[in-house]
Amino acid sequence: MATVTENQFVADLIAARQPGYSLPGAFYSEERVYRAEMDRIWRRGWLFAGHCCEIPSPGDYFTMQVDSDSMIVMRDDEGEIHAFWNVCRHRGTELCDQPSGRIGRIVCPYHQWTYARDGSLLTCRGMQEDLDKSRLGLRSTHVRVIAGFVFISLAQQPPPFEQAAELIGALGQPQGLERAKVAKTVDYDVAANWKIVWENNRECYHCNVNHPQYIKANFDHYNADDINERVQAKIDAAVTHSEEKWSATGLAVSHRRSGMTRFPDVERNCWYSANRTPLVEGYVSETMDGKQVAPLMGDYTDADVGTLRIRTMPNLWNHSSCDHGVSTRLLPAGPKRTLIRVTWLVDSAAVEGRDYQVEEIMPFWQLTSEQDWAICEQAQRGVESSGYLPGPFSTYKEYNVDGFVRWYLQQLALA
């Protein structure tokens, strides 16, 4: 519960931000800002939890840690997915101490209170007979599944999900992520504020030097200030080529220019985004050499589908190629620390060793991700200095960083 003083502190900080400039340093290190963010953003919006293919069968679950709260995301006997606080209703003991598994019932290890897969309290041997068990089921929260992505919201009244579902559903459907399987998961503990990670994600100004692999496959590191006729011609050719080819299968080019698609959209308070874009000629997958490395996913019948990008604030981006998808999930663990999980997905029927090699699927996004985490940690060290002053954003290249900052401040101001 924030005090009046804390609210004022955050309000003053919000007021101190100069338009077009990076955030004041306190936003990246102050416990009071972090607590406000937890209340106003992370416990109010929709959070990406994982993929439904991670828990295909009844009783399958995984846990995830949102700040102080461990959550259990579990499929019940009817196939519905629930999100429970990982806390016994008796004396509060953590119920599941494994990151994932499959269980018939949730049994508290302390006094064996036993819950069904839908969270209802089945037995609590040793308690008085007049206890109303119907009021002692696991505390659960909102879950939405769309195109294989599982979202949860810790809010009592979460924001509307329909429009996000419509967009992500439409663009995500051909990728078939709900019929995928996890090829690999890597967890990172990054010493940087979660906003530093987003600010890094929202521009490709840093790509030329930091991401030698990424820039070979993509066009979005070019902006109005540095694009030339040769590159523009390549983009135009790729768009024309893709539109012609894809029209047959219903795929559409939804980002056809240089630069990154605009997201988040603060004017429309829009926390989700999806688009499909051509890759550079010769690339049909975001892999080291651009070649396909696993069976086609979903409804695809041809490898030449460009790249599908889906993002939701505050914690997901997914980059999918014809043959694999990569989801990145952020979870904050204090003002100076972000836990990041990167998950590689392939078609559920693909067999490792026969149909794909993990070592071929991973490097492109593993390298690009780790390059980003390293520079994020270096940025974090700098903004903690009393010598740091907010600096100007590039209007050519950092419009999305500015957009992110404005979206963030808008959310934070909603006390």
| Interface ranges with a copy of itself (CB under 8 A) | 22, 25, 43, 67-71, 85-95, 97, 109-112, 125-128, 131, 136, 139, 154, 199, 205-206, 209-210, 223, 225-226, 375, 378-379, 381-397
Query: Least separation, in Å, of the C-beta of 360 and a copy of itself?
Result: 29
**From CA 160, how far away is CA 406, in angstroms rounded?**
20
Nearer to a copy of itself, 25 or 298 (CB): 25
Nearer to a copy of itself, 65 or 232 (CB): 65
Nearer to a copy of itself, 291 or 381 (CB): 381
Three-state SS across 278-305? Answer: CCCCCCCCCCCCCCCCCCCCCCCCCCCC
Nearer to a copy of itself, 225 or 281 (CB): 225
Q: Which amino acid makes up residue 184? A: K
**From CA 243, how far away is CA 247, in angstroms rounded?**
6
Query: Least separation, in Å, of the C-beta of 66 and a copy of itself?
Result: 9
Query: Least separation, in Å, of the C-beta of 200 and a copy of itself?
Result: 8
Query: Least separation, in Å, of the C-beta of 94 and a copy of itself?
Result: 4
Which residue, 308, 316, 307, is CA-closest to 272?
316
Which residue, 142, 138, 160, is CA-closest to 151?
142
**From CA 387, how far away is CA 120, in angstroms rounded?**
54
Strands 69-75 and 60-66: antiparallel
Query: Least separation, in Å, of the C-beta of 5 and a copy of itself?
Result: 9
Nearer to a copy of itself, 5 or 57 (CB): 5
Please state, as a whole number, how many other Cβ atoms lie within 10 Å of the Cβ of residue 94. Answer: 15
Query: Least separation, in Å, of the C-beta of 273 and a copy of itself?
Result: 22
Taking the CA atoms of 331, 167, 303 and 294 in sequence, report the sign of the dihedral they define. Answer: positive
Nearer to a copy of itself, 88 or 296 (CB): 88
